[in-house]
């Protein structure tokens, strides 16, 4: 059956995931008033089916059920069917994911949730097979059961859906009520608590392969960032050792694309060999950010190589002609997971001939393979163990394999552009510029920011997503939090005050439209959004950092730069609310842990004023100094306490203050390091 036999309303959408379903026989609707109103008018239950373009099991369920004409006819007759891209609408995904987790004890994608016309969930699950197996009902059996219950047990459904709604609506409050909230008079941010968080993380160390826990294993970049900063601030070598072990094992493993650069989302095993092959923009942004900081500290050439190769992949495959960054590459090609990336010994021999021996030794290539009869390239032998002549041959062979791989059918590209993930990549480019001093990285960061302001900005704030000239959906907390962080990082490499001014303006916007002054934290959605069941608050670090924690760190920095009392009050209240939970569960709240680590020791304030300010600032940026706020200017600037009244003719001075004490200004980096 040709897909073009059918066309539904998703054909008018821009999301690659929704467009993948545009020719299903299912009469899919996008989330919107047309579908929601139809459910009420015809008294039909709503099926909300949520996924994303690189989701393997989403593709499987589409092939098995949503392309089946018999199944589709039943769905069309009895349901209003809505498809949602979770990356476009994370707010809707959060609500119904929580509902499904409450109903069946777990969640994931594809997420299939059944709602009343009032948008209240009453049943749901994840992947359903086309035929009953292993004690699981088939998709069609589930549909029949839902229709029967909806028409003959509606009062029970309504009662359950109301309970679920109440539970979801109150989940943030219950979470906050369970917390032991610190009082402003308590000294809760101490080196002892920072040490407690480190030892809690240490209990989860995989001391053989790095990372935390066993399979499946995620990069956990926020936790590794805490360990790095803890090492620098507390002088604990064990913390740095685990960061280096983790990053080294990842780069040597199959989770890293040995030929093209870039990291897959996670490893299905504990030793980083077999990834789930999808490549997400946000993972690579977070890893480049971390690698740049670690390289500044260690000067390990392995990390420099990974930064350059990964940003090379971003530039080559993930950057639009307009300078936006695309979202993801699929795990599948030709319907097979990982097919684009794996090799056989025969293929490598054919490409490299007599030169294959060295590359096979280096990348663990064998006749039997290391994964399902194929080979995932990984480094089993350290590069430095080879002679210089062999090293050069390996690099040439590596390029030959890359060019051969380019002839394969590529995984599909999710080319929508998301504000939050783009902002994370801006920060990554800024950190890479600081550590490697490549001017092109600064230019990339500036160009992407200009793109975001040109195409995703609306009257007051921003949109969340952009594709094919269309921007839509009001931006969420994470969008603004990461964008403000990106603006602060851009100021940190350009020292152009316009970036600070915009960061301050957007922070005021977020406080106005997202802040709950009673709960002392931020909602995920703006107060202007009306098409969702409830407004939720999110606190955990998931695949990306907590928006609330990121805002706390943003407001801390801006409160120092502008001496803004409201910013200081809000960020401290956020940290007091989360202090107990973070100390107990730092792996789940790693961004919060970093913010609390910074509060536990005196802040470092650096101001550089004079003609050589840019050069000196660039030199300071080469070494990762956490818990600092640095400003640089040709002359003193009113309205910025770090810069006011600090100008001396014919000299560039470095001013250093910490713990409310300022030292005499110095003129060299060496003198500054002695003060530090």
Q: Are 318 and 326 a contacting pair, CB within 8 Å?
A: yes
Q: What is the mean pLDDT of residues 59-69?
A: 95
Is residue 496 over pLDDT 60? Answer: yes
pLDDT at 164: 92
Range of 79-93, 122-136, 154-168 with top mean pLDDT: 79-93
Is residue 275 over pLDDT 80? Answer: yes
Is residue 3 over pLDDT 60? Answer: no
What pTM does this model have?
Answer: 0.95
Q: Are 246 and 210 a contacting pair, CB within 8 Å?
A: yes
Q: Are 452 and 479 a contacting pair, CB within 8 Å?
A: no
Peptide bond before 145: cis, by omega within 30 degrees of 0? no
Per residue in 331-352, pLDDT (tens digit) is 999 889 999 999 999 999 999 9
pLDDT confidence bin for 2, thresholds 50/70/90? very low
Q: Are 157 and 122 a contacting pair, CB within 8 Å?
A: yes
Is residue 659 over pLDDT 80? Answer: no
pLDDT at 186: 67
Is residue 99 over pLDDT 70? Answer: yes
Range of 51-55, 217-221, 660-664 with top mean pLDDT: 217-221
Query: What CA–CA distance (Å, rounded) separates 199 from 209?
Result: 18
Long-range contacts at 399-406 (CB < 8 A, ≥ 24 apart): 400/351, 400/352, 401/259, 401/343, 401/348, 401/351, 401/352, 401/359, 402/259, 402/260, 404/347, 404/351, 405/259, 405/260, 405/340, 405/341
Lowest mean pLDDT segment, chosen from 1-15, 97-111, 116-130: 1-15
Which tokens hold the place of 559? 């409160």
Which H or E run contains 449?
helix 439-455
Which percentage of the chain shows pLDDT scores above 90? 86
Q: What is the mean pLDDT of residues 352-380?
A: 94
pLDDT at 1: 41
- Domain positions in the chain: 3-176, 191-334+413-600, 341-405, 604-675
Residue 417's nearest CA partner among 391, 395, 449, 374 is: 449
Per residue in 531-577, pLDDT (tens digit) is 999 999 999 998 999 999 999 999 999 999 999 999 999 999 999 99
Is residue 135 over pLDDT 90? Answer: no
Lowest mean pLDDT segment, chosen from 147-161, 380-394, 418-432, 590-604: 380-394
Top-tier CATH class for 191-334+413-600: mainly alpha
Lowest mean pLDDT segment, chosen from 104-113, 163-172, 523-532, 554-563: 163-172
Q: What is the mean pLDDT of residues 395-414?
A: 96
pLDDT confidence bin for 627, thresholds 50/70/90? very high
Is residue 461 over pLDDT 50? Answer: yes
Which H or E run contains 280?
strand 279-280
Is residue 185 over pLDDT 90? Answer: no
Mean pLDDT across the chain: 94
CATH topology of domain 3-176: Glutaredoxin (3.40.30)
Q: Are 295 and 303 a contacting pair, CB within 8 Å?
A: yes
DSSP class of residue 323?
Answer: S
Is residue 453 over pLDDT 50? Answer: yes
Q: Rounded to an integer, what is the distance from CA 185 to the centroid of its chain?
A: 35
């Amino acid at each position: 059956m040709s897909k073009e036999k059918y066309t539904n309303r998703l054909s008018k959408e821009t999301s690659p995931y929704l467009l993948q379903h545009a020719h299903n026989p299912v009469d899919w609707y996008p989330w919107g008033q047309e579908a929601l109103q139809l459910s009420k008018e015809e008294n039909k239950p709503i099926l909300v089916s949520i996924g994303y373009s690189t989701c393997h099991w989403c593709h499987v369920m589409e092939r098995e059920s949503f392309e089946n004409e018999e199944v589709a006819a039943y769905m069309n007759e009895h349901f209003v069917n809505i498809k949602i891209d979770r990356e476009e609408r994370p707010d809707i995904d959060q609500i119904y994911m929580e509902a499904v987790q409450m109903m069946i004890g777990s969640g994931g994608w594809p997420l299939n949730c059944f709602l009343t016309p009032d948008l209240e969930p009453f049943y749901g699950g994840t992947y359903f097979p086309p035929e009953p197996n292993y004690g699981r009902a088939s998709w069609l059996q589930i549909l029949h059961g839902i229709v029967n219950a909806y028409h003959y047990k509606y009062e029970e459904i309504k009662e359950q859906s109301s309970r679920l709604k109440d539970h979801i609506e109150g989940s943030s409050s219950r979470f906050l009520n369970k917390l032991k909230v610190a009082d402003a008079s308590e000294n809760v941010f101490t080196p002892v608590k920072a040490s407690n968080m480190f030892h809690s993380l240490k209990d989860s160390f995989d001391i053989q392969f790095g990372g935390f826990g066993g399979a499946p294993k995620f990069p956990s970049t926020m936790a590794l960032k805490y360990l790095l900063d803890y090492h620098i601030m507390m002088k604990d070598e064990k913390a740095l050792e685990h960061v280096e072990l983790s990053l080294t094992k990842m780069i040597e493993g199959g989770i890293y694309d040995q030929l093209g650069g870039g990291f897959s989302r996670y490893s299905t095993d504990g030793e980083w060999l077999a990834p789930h092959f999808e490549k997400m923009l946000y993972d690579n942004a977070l890893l480049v950010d971390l690698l740049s900081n670690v390289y500044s500290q260690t000067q390990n050439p392995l990390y420099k190589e990974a930064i350059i190769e990964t940003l090379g992949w971003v530039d080559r495959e993930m950057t639009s002609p307009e300078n936006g960054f695309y979202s993801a590459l699929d795990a599948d090609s030709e319907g097979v997971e990982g097919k684009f990336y794996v090799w056989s010994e025969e293929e490598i021999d054919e490409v490299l001939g007599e030169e294959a021996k060295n590359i096979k030794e280096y990348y663990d290539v064998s006749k039997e393979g290391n994964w399902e009869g194929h080979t995932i390239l990984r480094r089993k032998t350290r590069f430095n163990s080879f002679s210089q002549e062999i090293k050069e041959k390996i690099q040439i062979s590596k390029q030959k394999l890359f060019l051969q791989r380019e002839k394969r059918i590529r995984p599909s590209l999710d080319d929508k552009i998301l504000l939050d993930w783009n902002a994370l990549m801006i920060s990554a480019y800024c950190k890479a510029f600081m550590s490697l001093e490549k001017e092109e990285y600064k230019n990339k960061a500036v160009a992407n920011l200009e793109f975001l302001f040109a195409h995703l900005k609306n009257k007051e704030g921003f949109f969340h997503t952009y594709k094919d000239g269309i921007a839509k959906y009001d931006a969420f907390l994470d969008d603004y939090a990461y964008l403000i962080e990106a603006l602060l990082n851009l100021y940190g490499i350009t020292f152009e005050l316009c970036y600070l001014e915009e960061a301050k303006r957007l922070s005021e916007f977020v406080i106005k439209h997202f802040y709950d002054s009673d709960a002392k934290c931020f909602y995920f959605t703006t107060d202007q959004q009306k098409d969702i069941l409830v407004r939720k608050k999110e606190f955990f670090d998931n695949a990306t950092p907590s928006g609330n924690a990121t805002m706390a760190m943003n407001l801390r920095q801006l409160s120092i730069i502008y001496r803004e009392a409201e910013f200081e009050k809000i960020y401290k209240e956020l940290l007091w609310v989360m202090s107990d939970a973070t100390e107990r569960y730092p792996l789940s709240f790693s961004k919060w842990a970093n913010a609390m680590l910074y509060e536990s020791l005196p802040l470092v304030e650096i101001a550089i004023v004079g003609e050589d300010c840019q050069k000196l600032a660039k030199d300071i940026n080469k070494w990762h100094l956490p818990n600092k706020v640095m400003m640089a200017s040709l002359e003193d600037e009113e309205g910025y306490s770090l810069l006011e009244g600090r100008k001396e003719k014919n000299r560039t001075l470095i001013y250093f203050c910490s713990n409310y004490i300022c030292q005499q200004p110095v003129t060299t980096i060496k003198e500054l390091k002695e003060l530090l």
